[in-house]
Amino acid sequence: MKKFPQKTVTRTLLYVRTLDNLLEQGKKFVSSWELAEITDLTDVQIRKDISNFGRVGRPRLGYEIRKLKSILEEYVLQHTVHVVLFGVGNLGSAIIRYPGFHNEKIKMVAAFDVDKKKVGKKIRDVKIYSFDEATKVVPKTHAEIGIIAVPAEHSQETADIIVASGLRGIVNFTPTTINVPKDVFVKNIDLSIEFLSLFCDIQRT
């Protein structure tokens, strides 16, 4: 896999999502300008991003949606991502029920909780295991990413279990920074910070 600007990767995933929608609407071609309208970016930005993946557009017509989508996916979506969830509380339950995590792109394959009342249950075909079973169960699921949705004070021990289970990616919803070996990638999603930074944007105008 060649390496592209990090931002390009994120936007490319947005393009794929958009192209999916356009396909559903029965459209065949789309121009960089139209994509810019939909995604709230600029047409130049979009052409620049796409140019990373080769010459795929046709002057006067734009991009053939199906073709563009398949080329982009080749670079950013080689195969299904399998995720496991740690902490089936308020947030975890919502995530486990999210249809966006039960499709051909992302599949949730197992969940873990310390609460004995939850262990053994199933939500949306996802079985809930005890935390102790993680290092044994996770490898069998072929998961690549673990989600941390436990109380903040247990985020580090959960991260340790995730690492011990062999996962290389973590999405951390707790408002804490976790320590992991440097070959493990962490994406922190701190909702409070998102809201506060948006508020700063508003104030500064």
Ligand X SMILES: NC(=O)c1ccc[n+]([C@@H]2O[C@H](COP(=O)([O-])OP(=O)(O)OC[C@H]3O[C@@H](n4cnc5c(N)ncnc54)[C@H](O)[C@@H]3O)[C@@H](O)[C@H]2O)c1
Partner DNA sequence: ATTTAATTGTGAAATTAATAACGATTGTGG
Partner DNA sequence: CCACAATCGTTATTAATTTCACAATTAAAT
Q: Compute the residue count for the chain.
A: 205
Which residue in the set 15, 30, 174, 178 belongs to the binding site for ligand X (CB under 6 A)? 174
Q: How far apart are CA 1 and CA 104, in angstroms?
A: 21
Under 8 Å between Cβ of 4 and 74:
no
Q: How far apart are CA 6 and CA 174, in angstroms?
A: 24
User: Which of 153, 184, 152, 148 lies closest to 166, judged by CA?
Assistant: 184
Q: Is 115 in the site for ligand X (CB under 6 A)?
A: yes
Chain centre to alpha carbon of residue 40: 20
Which partner from the list a copy of itself, ligand X, DNA, none does 71 bind, CB cut-off 5 to 8 Å by kind?
none
Which partner from the list a copy of itself, ligand X, DNA, none does 3 bind, CB cut-off 5 to 8 Å by kind?
a copy of itself
Q: Which residues bind DNA (CB under 7 A)?
A: 5-8, 31-33, 42-45, 47-48, 50-51, 55-63
Q: How far apart are CA 86 and CA 92, in angstroms?
A: 8
Helix or strand or coil: residue 189? coil
Q: Which residues bind a copy of itself (CB under 8 A)?
A: 1, 3, 9-10, 13-14, 17-18, 38-40, 76-78, 81, 83, 90-91, 93-95, 97-98, 100-101, 105-106, 144-145, 168-169, 171, 175, 177, 183, 185-187, 189-205
Under 8 Å between Cβ of 102 and 124:
yes
Binding mask 146-165 for ligand X (x = CB under 6 A): ---xxxx-x---x-------
Contact positions toward ligand X, by CB under 6 A? 87-92, 94-95, 97-98, 100, 113-115, 131, 149-152, 154, 158, 173-175, 191
